[in-house]
Structure 1
Amino acid sequence: MGAESSLYAWESVEKDGSRALVTAAWAFAEANASCEILRLAGLEPDARYRIRSLCGLSVKLLLRQFFPSLPDQAFCVLPDGTELYGAELMYAGLHLVNQTSYGGSVQFLLEKV
């Protein structure tokens, strides 16, 4: 990420390009933080990938206890289950935003459909 960013990210892709696991973490919260663009690598450009957040329901319910106004899409601009081409994910990227009042983290599983 850029020099001004507090976002750190890791990506692991299956050798055959069928799945990828993406982890993103913010080192600290920022007031009025802008959207971060995370460009992925190693995907098949012409394949479609379904994006699922691995932030479990129990974590979401816990966050709601402390942050009732937290939107369902607290970390990713895209709704869960969105399908995008590998080329889109590698060149346009995932648009991430930290809408919590602390440094947060999220994991996404991308599966070829």
Structure 2
Amino acid sequence: MITVNLYYTGTNGSASAFAAEMESSGVADEIRNEPGNLRYQYFSSLNDPETVLLIDSWIDQTAIDAHHASPMMQKIMELREKYDLHMIAERFVSEEIGCDEKFIRK
């Protein structure tokens, strides 16, 4: 699994407005229904109200590449521009939890 954390930052609530429009317009649900998407979820920052975190997880790079080539990316880019957002991205490749399992409370 590949997970990309995207930190969207704007001004005057624009990052939150962007996430809200992604959800209300159905774009986020369309992405969640793309083949290979495992998670697409927004979170608000407790210490920075102008930043929203998107956790975006995919089964593999092929699924991410297909998503980036889809018409969905144009919609996302238009909304990012509309809300004048800046981004920081972090990329993680997951491994089996294994020995850490005893520290995870379910």
Query: TM-score when scaled to structure 2?
Result: 0.37
Which is higher, the Rg of structure 1 or of structure 2?
2
> More helix per residue: 1 or 2?
2
